[in-house]
Amino acid sequence: MNLHSHKHFRKNLAIGIAVAALSGCGGGSDQASAGSVGASAAANSLAKDAAAANSSAAAHAGLTQYVNPFIGTADSAAPATDPVPAGARGGTFPGATTPFGMVQWTPMTPSNGGQDHPVGYIYKEKTITGFPLTQMSGSGCDGNQGELPIMPTFDPSAVGINAKENFDHKNETARPGYYQVTLNDGINTELTATTRSGFGRFTFPAKSAIASANKTPYLVFDATRTNTIASTTGVIKTEGKDGLSGSTVGGNFCGARTYTLYFYAKFDRNISATINNGKANVSFDASSKPAVLMKIGLSYVSSDNARKNLEQENPGWDFNAVRDTADDAWNKRLNTIQVSGGSDTEKRKFYTALYHSLLSPNTNSDVNGDYLGFDQKTHKVQDGRTQYVNYSNWDVYRSLIPLNGMLFPKETSDMMQSLVNDADQCGAIPRWAPINVDAGIMPGDSGVPTIMGGYAFGATNFDAGKALDYMTLVGNKADVQCTGDHVRDSVDRMNDYLVHGYAAMDNGWWAGSLTFEFSTADFATAQLAKALGDNTNYQLFLSRSANWKNQFNPARKQLLPRYRNGNWLLNPQPNADMVEGNAEQYTWMSAYDARGLFGLVGGNAAAIARLDTFFQNLNAGVNLPNFYMGNEPSFATPWLYNWSGAPWRTQKVVRDVVNTVFSDGPGGLPGNDDLGAVSSWYVWAAIGLYPEIQAVGGLTIGSPMFDKVTIHWADGKKKLMIKANGAATNSPYVQSLKLNGKALDMPWLWLTDLKDNSTLHFSLAASESQWGQDSAAKMPSFGLDGFTSLSDALNNRGIGSDGQKTTRGLEGYTYDMGGWSYSSQALAAAGASPGGSVSFNGIQFSWPDGKLGLDNMVSQGQTITLAKPQAAGTLAILGSSTNASSAPTGKLNVTYTDNTQASFDLRFDDWTLGGGSAKVGSYNQIALTSAHRVDQNGNSDSTKAYVYYWDAQLDQKRTVKSITLPYQTDNGAVMHVFSMALK
């Protein structure tokens, strides 16, 4: 349904009234009820929330007219060939809510006999089984809230599972903050909301044939079922002559634990309630006042708090004013980005996408600051803050959190602080968090890039230092849990990642996609460490962010699962060995090191050719080796052309996706919206910018769809103006671009350069240009290629001290990342002291001083470009391997100043020779012998540990420019380097 204007809204409302009027009731009119103080309180509540939405930025246009909440409620009009389970439709809802609201009051329909998932509102259905007060927009799992369904009826026995077809879409209206439907029995239902309360107007056709047949009007409250829990525990009791209170047990999202939702409801008249085991049939006299008003507060703490929420946010009875206040709150949010030009269809697609992007995370704290924590205890949020829940972090870290961080830094800062509060209560930042629990679903450690994505894009007002502590905890320990779920999937998987540099397929289901996700979390940790001045953890975690290369198969040139022994799984099963995708889709996910990825693929030309094939299908699903717009792993891929020297291809592909995969009808989303994730991608695409490197405050460039886009910054004074001469539906190609009048020649912008009064001026056309073709080498890419000496590249703590515990006793701060290190005392006795030198085979080596707590380098493809090129006949390295049943081999490349190269097999034996059971190979010599080792708690053992010497003969007639270490080994073991010398 397309909603064009406020006039159109009133017309649709009038249709609903007319249907009722034909039955002789005259109900549903826009009569103003007594108690304008209620409207004032609601207005004050939402106005306070909307203050950060730049209310003083400009005269606000009427933008809610362009929002169609029905978009995404039907199966995609451009369906994926093979969607993820439950991924055929957007899974959105048309009900009434406010930005980031606790209450999301919406109709609920059947699920086609249990065939259609996720459950909620499914557009093709003709039956409404109730109007639950909570929802989770676009989530793929069942258990997506849907608690406390309330249903107006003349026949309580026909509510719920017994309901028959009872409505038609022609009698239904939805707009931000308001939903209306006239049921087939003539009852007109209207819903609106404040942040923590719902407000319903139920107009019963008092003089209809049904009513004249002595039918009694009811509102049925059902606390014994939710969207997906067929039978749950509920309690309802009366409150005086005109109210109800109670609770219901909901949750169970993707199998997560349940929780209790409390409510407090008031009517505008006396009621009679028949209550039986958590169900209440509420009747009342509607003969003289057929428009029955009912308002209801929610809380996850208590019914008394639900009452306080209701009384503070909506103490009066002016439905129209509350509805209009909700509309105004949405309008202010939407006006944060003002667009002009383009068609009405494009505006509907854009503003509905922005609307969907602001539905979650959701308010969880009550008006008095109380909220239920992850420890199942009641906490009080800090003054001036709001506690939020419902984080589909695996989905939203890629584009939604950067969008909200950029537009609404206050709220997003509170969202980030909420995750830190959760960690205080459960032990770690949750990775997928519905109400007060980590659901433990989806791979990786996605809460970490969520927090850094918010921080990088402006949401910095939270305890970032504590967040970094939690990030480094989970990144250095195999077993960290939140509410009983392992944050990095399982002990074995995280242990593999630490000690091998990849999560092995020996762990089974989905293990093949864990390494990329863990590496992404490590990159985010590195960036926050850098921002906070923690250079030790910056270097350590930046190096681990390169672990994805351990799964890049050099023969297939594809990201593939690997076993612990180094063997490859060459034909992984989509959505089994790799979560919700396939090997080709995952290959393109390392956007933070695009240059490194393209180098492995075979260079820019090879990458372009392969991407061209990839985009032959724009919504492929999980099986085909093509782009899948309907799911997050592919989000960043269309923008990768910008790193290849062919940005016009990004401009074309993104515009094709926007034009063909999205639409403005119920089937307008390509797959699950996942709490706004897919919609946020559309918002970025439409304005011509994208947060390709989520943990870095910068944007890569596509092309805007509109003649003019104005982004109002949160201070309410400054703005970014995007002007696009020649913008049109099929005019995506950038001919030129200027920032504040200065020509730009590459498709990248740093956010700090935009956070003032800035103007981007595009010139667009329907024919491609070569703009940006020479920019590939200048695009930001965070590989391990910026070092001028080995000391700059150190990234591992490998030398412990007898009797001294490592930082928090974490195994990730040890040499083998499993808990054991060299002893500094034993090494000193062998001749290697911090900052000293070691002489072997006539070569003098500098021994690391360890001042930053880093004393060796895990080999991960680092390129060390010598500050001063040097001619030499020998390259010599001191190092060893860890977790090596046999000596690993990796390719080391020496590049000379004439750009010729020499390649060598670097090999190091295991540092303990398998605990003393093996012998040194011919490729190594023992340079140092440590008499004992030390564990993470400072305890020593009698196992000898060795440092080996390896060398290679160079061409003395050439001058060495750089040395590139192996990015992976043949058997999955890890190689370390302590020192390197040329002679």
**Residue of 538, 562, 547, 489 whose CA lies nearest to 515:** 547
pLDDT greater than 60 at residue 85: yes
Domain boundary among 735, 761, 780: 780
118 pLDDT band, cuts 50/70/90, is confident
Query: d(Cα 180, Cα 237) in Å, to the nearest integer?
Result: 28
% of the chain with per-residue pLDDT over 70: 93
Q: Is 411 helix (H, G, I), strand (E, B) or coil?
A: helix
CATH number at residue 389: 1.20.1050.60
18 pLDDT band, cuts 50/70/90, is very low
CATH number at residue 697: 3.30.2080.10
pLDDT greater than 80 at residue 352: yes
- Domain assignment present for residue 281? The answer is yes
Query: d(Cα 849, Cα 828) in Å, to the nearest integer?
Result: 12
Query: d(Cα 302, Cα 279) in Å, to the nearest integer?
Result: 19
432 pLDDT band, cuts 50/70/90, is very high
Whole-Å CA distances, 673 to 251, 548, 618, 665: 19, 27, 16, 14
201 forms beta bridges with 190, 293
Say if residue 724 is in the same domain as residue 644.
yes
What is the per-residue DSSP string for 474-514? Answer: HHH-S--EETTEETTS-HHHHHHHHHHSS--GGG-TTGGGH
Say if residue 16 is in the same domain as residue 122.
yes
Say if residue 24 is in the same domain as residue 109.
yes
Give the model confidence (pLDDT) of 647-660 as tens digits. 999 999 999 999 99
CATH number at residue 124: 2.70.98.10
Query: What pLDDT is stored for residue 213 in this prediction?
Result: 63
pLDDT greater than 80 at residue 871: yes
Say if residue 810 is in the same domain as residue 867.
yes
Beta carbons of 13 and 172 less than 8 angstroms apart: no
pLDDT greater than 60 at residue 316: yes
| Three-state secondary structure string covering 413-466 | HHHHHHHHHHHHHHCCCCCCECCCCCCCCCCCCCHHHHHHHHHHCCCCCCCHHH
Q: Which residue has the higher pLDDT, 162 or 853?
A: 853
- Domain assignment present for residue 82? The answer is no
Q: Cα-atom radius of gyration of the chain, to the nearest Å?
A: 30
Say if residue 412 is in the same domain as residue 383.
yes
25 pLDDT band, cuts 50/70/90, is very low
Taking residues 58-85, report their average pLDDT. Answer: 91
Q: Which residue has the higher pLDDT, 411 or 35?
A: 411
Query: What pLDDT is stored for residue 208 in this prediction?
Result: 58
Query: d(Cα 834, Cα 847) in Å, to the nearest integer?
Result: 6
pLDDT greater than 80 at residue 914: yes
pLDDT greater than 90 at residue 335: yes
- The values of phi and psi at residue 440, to 5°, are 70, 25
pLDDT greater than 50 at residue 37: no
- For 6-14, which contacts have Cβ atoms below 8 Å and span 24 or more sequence positions? 6/62, 6/65, 8/65, 9/65, 9/173, 9/175, 9/178, 12/173, 12/180, 13/173, 13/180
Taking residues 778-790, report their average pLDDT. Answer: 95
Mean pLDDT of the chain: 92
- How many domains would you assign to the chain? 4
Residue 65 DSSP code: G
pLDDT greater than 80 at residue 44: no
Structure tokens at 838: 């070691």
Q: Is the dihedral of CA 121, 127, 131, 132 positive or negative?
A: negative
Those residues whose C-beta lies under 8 Å from the C-beta of residue 142, and which sit 6 or more positions away, are 86, 117, 118, 119, 227, 228, 253, 254
Query: What pLDDT is stored for residue 943 in this prediction?
Result: 97
Taking residues 326-343, report their average pLDDT. Answer: 98
Taking residues 685-710, report their average pLDDT. Answer: 97
Taking residues 212-226, report their average pLDDT. Answer: 89
53 pLDDT band, cuts 50/70/90, is very low
- Domain assignment present for residue 435? The answer is yes
pTM for the full model? 0.93
Query: What pLDDT is stored for residue 546 in this prediction?
Result: 97
20 pLDDT band, cuts 50/70/90, is very low
Domain boundary among 551, 575, 599: 575
Q: Point out the least confidently predicted range of 3-12, 842-851, 897-906.
A: 3-12
Say if residue 356 is in the same domain as residue 404.
no
Query: d(Cα 695, Cα 459) in Å, to the nearest integer?
Result: 12
pLDDT greater than 80 at residue 56: no
Those residues whose C-beta lies under 8 Å from the C-beta of residue 400, and which sit 6 or more positions away, are 357, 675, 676, 677, 679, 680
Say if residue 153 is in the same domain as residue 183.
yes
- Domain assignment present for residue 209? The answer is yes
Say if residue 794 is in the same domain as residue 706.
no
pLDDT greater than 50 at residue 42: no
Q: Is the dihedral of CA 976, 531, 443, 967 positive or negative?
A: negative
Give the model confidence (pLDDT) of 482-541 as tens digits. 988 888 888 999 999 999 999 999 988 889 999 999 999 999 999 999 999 999 999 999
Domain boundary among 291, 319, 334: 334
Query: d(Cα 955, Cα 216) in Å, to the nearest integer?
Result: 97
pLDDT greater than 70 at residue 449: yes
Taking residues 461-469, report their average pLDDT. Answer: 98
Question: Amino acid letter at 487?
Answer: V
- The values of phi and psi at residue 263, to 5°, are -145, 160
Say if residue 324 is in the same domain as residue 434.
no
17 pLDDT band, cuts 50/70/90, is very low
Say if residue 888 is in the same domain as residue 929.
yes
- Which range of residues forms the domain containing residue 258? 6-51+91-334
Taking every pair of Cα atoms in the chain, the longest distance, rounded to a whole number of angstroms, is 108
**Residue of 930, 915, 923, 909 whose CA lies nearest to 951:** 923
Give the model confidence (pLDDT) of 610-631 as tens digits. 999 999 999 999 999 999 999 9
Whole-Å CA distances, 982 to 533, 724, 786, 871, 904: 33, 55, 20, 8, 15
906 forms beta bridges with 890
Say if residue 228 is in the same domain as residue 153.
yes
Query: What pLDDT is stored for residue 116 in this prediction?
Result: 80
Say if residue 223 is in the same domain as residue 248.
yes
228 pLDDT band, cuts 50/70/90, is confident
- Domain assignment present for residue 589? The answer is yes
Beta carbons of 146 and 108 less than 8 angstroms apart: yes
Structure tokens at 731: 């005019």
Q: Is 273 helix (H, G, I), strand (E, B) or coil?
A: strand
